[in-house]
Structure 1
Amino acid sequence: TAAPTTAPARATIAAAAAPAGLIARVPAGMTAATAPAPLGSLDPAKAPFQIEFAANGAGISRLVFSDFWKSVDASLAAKKSRATNDPALMPSDSARYVLVASRKLQGFEIPELAVRGVEIDGNRVGVFGSVWADSAARPGVFTTEIADATGAPILRIERAFTGLGTDPSNKYLLGLAHEITNLDGKAHTVRLIQYGPGDPELDTTSLTEVRRFHFGYLYPPERDPSRSFVIANGQMFERSDVIKKVAAGDIKIWPDTTAVDGKYELSWFGVTDRYFSFAVHAPLTAPSTGPKTLGSIDEVRALTNGQAAPNDSIFTELWSPASTIEPGARANLAMGVYAGPLDPTILEGVQPYVALNMGDLIVYLMSGCCSYCTFSWLADFLLWFLTFIHNNLVFDWGLSIIGLVVVVRLVLHPLQKKSQISMQRFSRAMTAMKPELDQLQKKFKDEPARMQQEQMRMFRERGVSPAGCVGGMLPTFAQMPIWMALYAVLYFAFPLRHQAPFFGVFQLFNDWTFLADLSAPDRFFAFSAPLNLYIFTLSSINLLPVLMGIVFFIQQKYTTPPVTPNMSDDQIAQQKMMKWMMVVMFPVMTYVVPSGLTLYILTSTCIGIVEGLIIKKQVDAMDFSAKPVDGKKKQDFLGRMYEKALERSKDRQQAQKKYKDR
């Protein structure tokens, strides 16, 4: 039997040696697996997924969800088919979401969780091939045998995928057990090697790389005597980081240096994409049953196919610890398998995932440079708050987003009012002081530093903050962290996947695609085929970003800082340019983001316009005439910042002058 073998940068093919004449074979009296029976069903009433097995290595060739679909169109069609009991409306099986599929590695089809080989007393025997027997009466159960040169059996290995459909409280429950029996007359030290969770399929519609590798672990007994806390801090790796490690020759991704130094013990290992996870975990059946360590895995190694992106692919290998099996004895290597959505109601609400803290597989965090400005803690809170509003008040995700807008605007209202008052005070004070400022400019036209000092003295005496116009942007700046965190929530949150807002009212019009999925652009008008515009591909006309541009234009009339008398022509031109950049560039940048985010920004802007008009009426009744103030009164924060900036600028100018004089 031949199989890919691990190398630092990429896998190479080598014949699996048979030390001392050891070979793998189908056990006597059994039939080699050719077309193994599937496990599960494509009927969501019976099972959440169907597993198709491969005879080669007794692994998973495909895992297909029964009620999760690739597109919202297929999801809507499936719902309509079930609602009308019309099978003709059911989408084809090719539209179903495939979580796991065999991938090619140098000509070999590698099934997920396939057995690659077994080490016997330090010698490896390949079992990746047609050496497994199965039984139609027991789907998911496979058996192979290791024999010596004389044909005498040495070991028997039985692997069984079990548990699916046995627990009404957890429909995703799946276990994988290995029973290794010593048929020889002497003890053997055995180590099992199997392929583990690897790269999910590349999502070509994703705006960023979302595939990640996660490890959950326990601290050593001296640090956690109770052995009850599974954590994942510091053990999440971006896909690009794994590729770099492998390329550098570091193929062992568990335990890494941090795990070795900390004496961490593995509890689970999984890969995730945008919405789903495929993971192996400790075979825990309840919070109080069994250890939380994944004792059947000692190491996790990674290898790649050596191709360039986007055709590159990561494979993993799970190495069991070495076990000595006495004659006639058996060794059991068991693990749990999770193949399902990154749904908090499951991973944070169903056992054994709660006890294993597998909710840490859910990360609302953008990849790359965007990870620093996503604020995952804020994203977690936003999803909790949205879920609370949805489940207890409005029962609709679109209305929940609008409810979030209202709460945020109420919280920021004092800041919004203060900023508008600050802008109006500054504008009117500058108008009143214009004659005096003009005199200063004439008097000190050849002494810019002195002119700045005199202007600051005048501002201080009149109680005017020179940075007052900046305050008008504070509410926008204050909301930007919320926008970034909400973007991550709407992009990654499984509960919002294929969810239509406003109780699906737009879908009542002949299954209109407009706002059918809050996690995708609104698709006001979807093209039958994407339009290639060379610079980018356009698949739909999206209405919300266009409306947002119109609303931004209206908003500019009320929020743009007014032109002040001391502003130069360049500053006025720059202000106009910034105004149009907001109106044009912002809708362009948000054209393909989740419609839930554009709904939030659009609603927030509309409420902001109404709020601004109300505040403006209050502001118009106030007296903003610049009056002399006590000279001992301290400048406000923005004013002090502005003065310090002027002082630093003056110091730099003097330093440059001294350097030139030398």
Structure 2
Amino acid sequence: MDKNQATGLILFAAVLLGYSIFFAKTPEPIDVQEGKEATEKVEAAREADVAEDISTFQLPDSLLDLQALQKFGAFAALTKGEANTYTIENELLAVEISSQGGEIKRVRLKEFTTWNKQPLYLLDENSSSISYTLPTRQGDFDLNEFFFQAKSSTEERDGVTLQVLTFTAQADQGSITRTYRLAPNSYALEKGIAVDGFRQQLMDGPIAINWEDRLKKLEADIEESRRKTNANWFFASDSYDYFGVNSNKSETLSEPVRWASFSQRFFTSAILADGEPFLNGRIAQDTPSDTLSVKNMSLALALPLAEGQNELRYYFGPNNYKILKTIAPSFEKNVDMGYFFVSWVNKYIIVNLFQFLERYVSNYGVIIILIVLIIKLFLFPLTYKSYMGMAKMRVIKPEIDELKEKYGDDPTKMQTEQMKLFSQLGVSPISGCLPLLLQMPFLFAMFFFFPNSIELRGESFLWAHDLSTYDSIINLPFTIPFYGSHVSLFTLLMTVSQIAYTKFNNQLSTQTGPLKNLGYIMPIGFMFILNSFPAALSFYYFVSNMVTFGQQALIKLFVDDAKVRQKVEENKKKNVNKKKSKFQQRLEDAMRAAEEQKQANKKKK
């Protein structure tokens, strides 16, 4: 460095020193609190960065492949892929299936909505899960852990085009295929499963199917829904069984099963074996304490593989008796048609009559009225016979009273003389009751038909917004025990009409004492029972009472007591020399023997 360069550097340094002394700002005091907050922000940011680094940290592909190989062996290649959703659908049903597992995720019924007008999903990812587990030498592998390639196509069968969705998981040593088929206008989803290859890896044994389902609330009245929801199953030996609607229990299915279902009030989800039946299984149901689900169901089944494959079906659809009857043997039992002594009325008469009227009448209130009129017309001969029986007993009441005065102290003699009188006059004491008993199956059949009729779901009539549930005209601010917190007008009309009919009927009857007043108590009891039942049922009983009342009033116009008395007198002359029938003679002998035994017992005492 020469003299000139050294002089320049010294001057430059002097200028900088002078500038820093005269022009630099005085440093501001540091706020301790601000410093603390700044430190906390730095630490929080550092922690967030670390958490983000951990969450985004991924093992190297080579290490992931090694882990998959250790766990799944020859199936390791099936654990890589993307989860995409595919839909197979027709006019009635839309089923969403994930490529991860090739399994059903959501099922929507297109023609129905929930009680609050939302899309109706029988299954979804939040409430239900279905898994198929494959037995291998390295353990049981859930197919939902594997990824499948999807392919959509169509298939012709008997002149019908089926939608087909095929899912294939391919590895070097074999493949797994799950195929879904859906026919037009069908609620039945066919499913085929096939395992090809993997001979060294597979164990001899069935595929384990596990279905967990928290049944979604589809109707407004959850209590009524729970009463009508239960698990059903049908064995390959043609025997049907089910859980009671209020039971919380599980049962081991120790013999082959043809189908099992979760049946709600109006809809059913089911799995059915089309090929080899399920070998065995376990089924359970319980009612939760909350209202998040109607009931919780679980089903485990063992699906055998014949030459590596088997066929089955799902049913996701309405509880329509006619439709269910076409699905599988005894599958219609998912609809409760009543006990054996009334179910025949619903199965063979009411269902067919109802569907016939649906073709020509769109208003279901009118359909109910027409059903009442048709049934009453069909049963009119029994109604007429019942009226005539009561009329005959009424006109011969003086003769009966005379016998009571004469033989009142001797019950056996009294009964004998009454039977003789009835025989002479051509009167049967049960002629008024028997026709009524023959009509009872029709009355009780409706008690099962209307609450389970999906056709009435969401259908309005007059003030009833939905005939499948109660019609509430007043919502009470309190709950009456056994009655509820609302007032059903159709139920009130039914009660009033029944009391009026009872009063009219008592005028025709010779019945006296407490039994005569029983007819007034029963309508009050039914008012409490039916208040929370579907409006269609109460409306049916109301119309039925009014038509019966009208029939009897009409009969009374043309058949008075004078004509009935005349007919009785004719029978009396005709039967004056009539011999006792064998039945009458046996009955008298039995009564006489009973009386003699009674007298003998008194003497012993």
342, 355, 362: which one pairs with 1:387? 355
Q: How does 1:160-175 map to 2 (within 5 A)?
A: 160=179, 162-163=180-181, 167=183, 169-170=184-185, 172=187, 174-175=189-190
Corresponding residue of 2:459: 499
Whether the aligned pair in 1 keeps the contact of 2:248 and 2:286 (CA below 8 Å) is no
Query: What secondary structure sits across from 2:531 in the alignment?
Result: coil
Corresponding residue of 1:227: none
Q: Give the CA deviation at 1:426.
A: 1.9
Whether the aligned pair in 1 keeps the contact of 2:231 and 2:260 (CA below 8 Å) is no
CA distance in 2, matches of 1:430, 1:652: 27
Query: What secondary structure sits across from 1:631 in the alignment?
Result: coil
473, 477, 483: which one pairs with 1:525? 473
Corresponding residue of 2:279: 299
555, 577, 591: which one pairs with 2:501? 555
Corresponding residue of 1:31: 81
Query: What secondary structure sits across from 2:275 in the alignment?
Result: coil
Structure 2 residue 243 is the aligned partner of structure 1 residue 239: yes
Corresponding residue of 1:252: 254
The TM-score with structure 2 as length reference comes to 0.70
Go from structure 1 to structure 2 and tell me whether the alpha carbon gap of 1:32 and 1:216 turns closer, same or farther (over 3 Å shift).
same
In structure 2, give the amino acid aligned to 1:560: N
Query: What secondary structure sits across from 1:418 in the alignment?
Result: helix
Q: Give the CA deviation at 1:124.
A: 6.8
324, 328, 337: which one pairs with 1:358? 328
Query: What secondary structure sits across from 1:63 in the alignment?
Result: strand
CA distance in 2, matches of 1:598, 1:550: 12
CA distance in 2, matches of 1:111, 1:573: 62
The TM-score with structure 1 as length reference comes to 0.65
Structure 2 residue 281 is the aligned partner of structure 1 residue 341: no
Whether the aligned pair in 1 keeps the contact of 2:91 and 2:110 (CA below 8 Å) is no
Whether the aligned pair in 2 keeps the contact of 1:546 and 1:587 (CA below 8 Å) is yes
Whether the aligned pair in 2 keeps the contact of 1:24 and 1:125 (CA below 8 Å) is no
Corresponding residue of 1:88: none
562, 571, 596: which one pairs with 2:536? 596
Backbone CA RMSD of aligned residues = 4.5
Query: What secondary structure sits across from 2:142 in the alignment?
Result: coil
Go from structure 1 to structure 2 and tell me whether the alpha carbon gap of 1:652 and 1:589 turns closer, same or farther (over 3 Å shift).
farther
Corresponding residue of 1:4: none
Structure 2 residue 153 is the aligned partner of structure 1 residue 204: no
Range with greater deviation from structure 2 (173-182 or 238-247): 238-247
Q: How does 1:32-431 map to 2 (within 5 A)?
A: 33=83, 36-37=84-85, 39=87, 48-51=93-96, 59-71=103-115, 74-75=116-117, 95-101=118-124, 111-112=129-130, 114-115=131-132, 117-120=133-136, 123=137, 125-128=139-142, 131-133=145-147, 155-160=174-179, 162-163=180-181, 167=183, 169-170=184-185, 172=187, 174-182=189-197, 189=204, 191-196=206-211, 200=215, 204-206=223-225, 208-215=227-234, 234-240=238-244, 247=251, 250-255=252-257, 266=258, 269-281=260-272, 293-295=274-276, 297-304=277-284, 313-322=296-305, 331-343=308-320, 346=323, 354=326, 357-358=327-328, 360-363=330-333, 366=336, 371-376=339-344, 378-392=346-360, 394-431=361-398
Go from structure 1 to structure 2 and tell me whether the alpha carbon gap of 1:145 and 1:648 turns closer, same or farther (over 3 Å shift).
farther
514, 517, 521: which one pairs with 1:577? 517
Q: Give the CA deviation at 1:613.
A: 1.5
CA distance in 2, matches of 1:276, 1:485: 21
430, 446, 449: which one pairs with 2:412? 449
CA deviation string 1:261-310 (max 9, x = no partner): xxxxx5x554433322223346xxxxxxxxxx424x54241144899999
In structure 2, give the amino acid aligned to 1:606: M
495, 516, 523: which one pairs with 2:465? 516
Whether the aligned pair in 1 keeps the contact of 2:91 and 2:185 (CA below 8 Å) is no
Go from structure 1 to structure 2 and tell me whether the alpha carbon gap of 1:660 and 1:344 turns closer, same or farther (over 3 Å shift).
closer
CA distance in 1, matches of 2:120, 2:201: 48
CA deviation string 1:401-446 (max 9, x = no partner): 2222222222222222222222222212223664x436515xx64x
CA distance in 1, matches of 2:502, 2:459: 33
Corresponding residue of 1:486: 446
Query: What secondary structure sits across from 1:633 in the alignment?
Result: coil
Corresponding residue of 2:565: 624
Corresponding residue of 1:544: 490
Whether the aligned pair in 2 keeps the contact of 1:422 and 1:471 (CA below 8 Å) is yes
Whether the aligned pair in 1 keeps the contact of 2:99 and 2:147 (CA below 8 Å) is no
Go from structure 1 to structure 2 and tell me whether the alpha carbon gap of 1:499 and 1:476 turns closer, same or farther (over 3 Å shift).
farther
Whether the aligned pair in 2 keeps the contact of 1:272 and 1:278 (CA below 8 Å) is yes
Q: Give the CA deviation at 1:537.
A: 6.8
Q: Greater relative contact order (Cα 8 A, min sep 6): structure 1 or 2? A: 1
Structure 2 residue 597 is the aligned partner of structure 1 residue 655: yes
CA distance in 2, matches of 1:598, 1:305: 31
Whether the aligned pair in 1 keeps the contact of 2:482 and 2:529 (CA below 8 Å) is no
Range with greater deviation from structure 2 (577-586 or 23-32): 23-32
CA distance in 2, matches of 1:608, 1:242: 36
Whether the aligned pair in 2 keeps the contact of 1:50 and 1:66 (CA below 8 Å) is no
Whether the aligned pair in 2 keeps the contact of 1:195 and 1:318 (CA below 8 Å) is yes
CA distance in 2, matches of 1:601, 1:270: 33
CA distance in 2, matches of 1:28, 1:118: 13
Whether the aligned pair in 1 keeps the contact of 2:208 and 2:303 (CA below 8 Å) is yes
In structure 2, give the amino acid aligned to 1:280: I
In structure 2, give the amino acid aligned to 1:520: T
Query: What secondary structure sits across from 2:512 in the alignment?
Result: helix
Query: How many residues are paired up?
Result: 514
CA deviation string 1:323-381 (max 9, x = no partner): 56xxxxxx444433321223356556xxxxx5xx53842238648xx624432454342
CA distance in 2, matches of 1:480, 1:182: 63
Whether the aligned pair in 2 keeps the contact of 1:197 and 1:279 (CA below 8 Å) is no
CA distance in 2, matches of 1:631, 1:100: 76
Unaligned runs of 5+ in 1: 1-17, 76-94, 104-108, 147-152, 218-232, 256-265, 283-292, 325-330, 349-353, 507-513, 565-570
Go from structure 1 to structure 2 and tell me whether the alpha carbon gap of 1:373 and 1:415 turns closer, same or farther (over 3 Å shift).
closer
In structure 1, give the amino acid aligned to 2:331: L
Corresponding residue of 2:10: none
Identity of aligned residues (%): 18
CA distance in 1, matches of 2:231, 2:82: 36
Structure whose CA Rg is larger: 2
Unaligned runs of 5+ in 2: 1-67, 153-163
